[in-house]
Amino acid sequence: MPLHLCEWHILIEDFTCFLKQSTVFTQLKDLFEVINMAVPKKKTSKSRRDQRRAHDALSQIMVTECQNCGEKKRPHHICDGCGFYNGKQIIRQNDTVATA
Ligand SMILES: [Zn+2]
């Protein structure tokens, strides 16, 4: 007895549902994702790699002494120890509210 058209439809739907759930389908999907992945056209030469890294070195941080408390601080920055800058108290001690 031949299947009715709507019965075929249900069968195909079930099969596609089974395919989507099966591991083979997900493995194929993963495989295609790997194939479509962006890949560099050429190997980066040691020279080009090192040229890129020429600016990667960290520079030494300048340190000066605070004129108020003598603690080491960065120039043109408020002192972490006393909160002074250019002879004026900018941050109160044990407080983070700016006064000037
Ligand atoms: Zn200070």
- In a domain, residue 23? The reply is yes
The total domain count for the chain is 2
- In a domain, residue 95? The reply is yes
**85 CA to centre of ligand 1 in angstroms:** 8
Q: Is there a contact between 83 and 73 (Cβ–Cβ < 8 Å)?
A: no
DSSP code string of 17-62? HHHHHSHHHHHHHHHHHHHTS---SSPPPHHHHHHHGGG-SPPPPP
Q: At 1, is the pLDDT very low, low, confident or very high (cuts 50, 70, 90)?
A: low
Question: What is the domain extent for residue 22?
Answer: 1-36
pTM: 0.43
- In a domain, residue 74? The reply is yes
97 has pLDDT over 60: no
**Shared domain check, 100 and 66:** yes
**27 CA to centre of ligand 1 in angstroms:** 63
- In a domain, residue 50? The reply is no
**48 CA to centre of ligand 1 in angstroms:** 45
- In a domain, residue 45? The reply is no
**6 CA to centre of ligand 1 in angstroms:** 85
Q: Is there a contact between 62 and 75 (Cβ–Cβ < 8 Å)?
A: yes
- In a domain, residue 43? The reply is no
Q: How far apart are CA 17 and CA 85, in angstroms?
A: 70
